[in-house]
């Protein structure tokens, strides 16, 4: 079995999106080559990450229990870099200062036997030659695997470069520029660059591709699945990804006799557990979340108004630009203290607008399935490169 290595940024969304894409790439590659392809996921978030993976990919794992394996050591290296336990600027300072040491750790890691484990903790010993390709999403490090494919909502280097020129971003500009330069070097070392739309900089009409041959795609995530809606009460859904300051909205929701559903009931009093797929239910009238693109696209596909908190000056600049995009393209509303009733008045307009956006995407791409679209591009390029390498070997 050959493997697809994943390389992603902080948070739960990036490892979910890269896994979704890798599963589809492995499926298409197996069909073309008659060879099996597994997936190596850096284990950054321990048991919580495994739990989320099981919830999201349980059906796939039941059929293919050994196809997704976890790299604990690589996860620890990435985890030290990620924004989360450290503040955003603090994490960038750490990144710039320690990148040479981290690159040495990565080189050492891939030069030895790589120990991975299945969901059931069965150990498997691999080497670098067992890894066929790399799939990245906003990567912070350059893993020594080629070919490599970048599939994301934006480039980290572009986000930080634009942040340097924006007076609303308070972070140290020197640090932003240094980190942007490192990110750009990493991004350049990819064979394809796939950027989804709508996403972070879709509101910029004159934006030019950052890299030669950049490919745009429909949203690179799996649309929400059907949910058993029979017993669901009228309510709102809240995706907990670090969204403080919404207590007033929750109180108003209860006054309006709206049930609050969420993915983390311990974070919101008097709430009921549910996965994001619940927003496909007609009883759910709105979706509240930080403006990560998985959440935004989920609302877009379900045609349920998306409401995000205002940008926190200590947060990733990506969220600042995401919020700008939401408002400029009508993809959602930013909560600035409005009443819930006034926000919900936007629902009908949002529904019509989301339907229009989806029609435009289908007209352009012939599909809304950005995962399949991106996977086909990756597989085509991978097989072309493999054929070229084989021909070159035959002539030498």
Q: The domain spanning residue 336 has which CATH number?
A: 3.40.50.2000
- At 220-276, the pLDDT tens digits run 998 888 899 999 999 999 887 544 445 555 666 667 688 989 888 877 778 899 989
Residues 59 and 145 both lie in one domain: yes
The pLDDT value recorded for residue 240 is: 72
The whole-angstrom separation of Cα 163 and Cα 177 is: 9
Report if residue 255 sits inside a domain. yes
Residue 214 sits in the same domain as residue 308: no
Q: Is 388 domain-assigned? A: no
Gap between the Cα atoms of 167 and 254, Å rounded: 38
Query: Tokens standing for 120?
Result: 């059931």
| Whether 317 and 170 share a structural domain | no
> Which stretches within 280-316 are classed as H helix?
293-302
Looking at the fold, whether 72 and 157 belong to one and the same domain comes out as yes
**Total domains in the fold of the chain:** 2
| Residue where a domain stops, chosen among 169, 188, 221 | 221
Residue 195 included in any domain: yes
148 and 59 housed in the same domain: yes
Number of residues that this document lists for the chain:
396
Q: Are 99 and 161 part of one and the same domain?
A: yes
Same domain, 119 and 45: yes
Tell whether 210 and 267 lie within a shared domain: no
Same structural domain for residues 212 and 240?
no
Q: Tell me, what's the pLDDT at 249?
A: 56
DSSP class per residue in 12-66: HHHHHHHHHHHHHHHHHHHHHHS--EEEEEE--SHHHHHHHHHHHHHHHHHH-TT
**Residue 208, token pair as written in the block:** 């030019």
Q: Distance of CA 27 to CAs 34, 67, 377, 378, Å?
A: 10, 11, 14, 12
Domain assignment of residue 380, yes or no: no
Stated pTM of the model: 0.92
Element (H, E) at 70: strand 68-71
CB distance 249 to 260 below 8 Å: no
- Cis omega before residue 147 (within 30°)? yes
Mean pLDDT split into 10-residue runs, the chain, 396 residues? 96 93 98 97 94 91 95 94 79 93 96 95 96 97 97 97 95 96 97 97 94 95 91 90 52 74 81 92 92 94 92 90 96 88 91 96 97 98 90 69
**Residue 88 backbone phi and psi in degrees, to 5:** -60, -50
- Choose the final residue of a domain: 156, 187, 221: 221
> Is residue 191 located within the same domain as residue 241?
no
Angle at 292 between CA 156 and CA 106, to 5 degrees: 45
One domain, residues 141 and 68: yes
With beta carbons less than 8 A apart as the criterion, state whether 260 and 270 touch. Answer: yes
Q: Nearest-CA neighbor of 203 among 120, 93, 323?
A: 323
What CA–CA distance (Å, rounded) separates 200 from 203? 8
- Reading the block at residue 183, the tokens are 């990110």
Residue range of the domain that includes 75: 2-221
């Amino acid at each position: 079995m050959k493997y697809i290595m994943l390389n992603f940024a902080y948070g739960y969304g990036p490892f979910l999106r890269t896994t979704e894409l890798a599963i589809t790439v492995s499926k298409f590659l197996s069909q073309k080559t008659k060879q099996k392809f597994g997936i190596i996921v850096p284990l950054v978030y321990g048991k919580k990450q495994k739990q989320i993976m099981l919830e999201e990919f349980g059906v796939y794992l039941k059929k293919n229990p050994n196809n997704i394996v976890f790299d604990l050591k690589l996860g620890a290296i990435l985890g030290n870099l990620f924004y989360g336990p450290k503040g955003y600027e603090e994490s960038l300072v750490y990144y710039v200062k320690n990148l040479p040491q981290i690159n040495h750790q990565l080189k050492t890691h891939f030069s030895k036997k790589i120990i991975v484990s299945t969901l059931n903790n069965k150990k498997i010993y691999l080497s670098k030659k067992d890894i066929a390709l790399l799939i990245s999403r906003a990567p912070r490090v350059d893993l020594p695997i080629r070919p490599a494919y970048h599939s994301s909502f934006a480039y980290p280097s572009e986000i930080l470069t634009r942040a340097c020129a924006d007076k609303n971003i308070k972070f140290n500009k020197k640090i932003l520029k240094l980190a942007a330069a490192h990110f750009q070097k990493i991004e350049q070392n990819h064979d394809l660059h796939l950027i989804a739309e709508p996403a972070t900089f879709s509101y910029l009409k004159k934006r030019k591709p950052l890299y030669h041959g950049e490919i745009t795609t429909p949203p690179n995530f799996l649309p929400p699945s059907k949910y058993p809606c029979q017993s669901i009460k009228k309510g709102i859904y809240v995706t907990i990804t670090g969204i403080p300051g919404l207590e007033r909205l929750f109180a108003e929701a209860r006054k309006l006799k709206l049930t609050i559903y969420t993915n983390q009931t311990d974070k919101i009093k008097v709430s009921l557990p549910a996965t994001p797929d619940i927003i496909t239910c007609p009883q759910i009238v709105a979706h509240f979340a930080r403006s990560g693109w998985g959440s935004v696209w989920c609302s877009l596909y379900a045609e349920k108004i998306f409401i995000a908190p205002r940008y926190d000056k200590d947060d990733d600049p990506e969220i600042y630009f995401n919020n700008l995009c939401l408002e400029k393209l009508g993809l959602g509303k930013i909560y600035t203290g409005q009443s819930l009733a006034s926000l919900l008045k936007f629902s009908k307009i949002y529904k019509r607008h989301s339907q229009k956006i989806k029609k435009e995407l289908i007209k352009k791409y012939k599909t809304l399935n950005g995962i399949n679209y991106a996977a086909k591009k990756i597989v085509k390029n991978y097989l072309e490169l493999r054929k070229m390498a084989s021909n070159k070997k035959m002539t030498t």
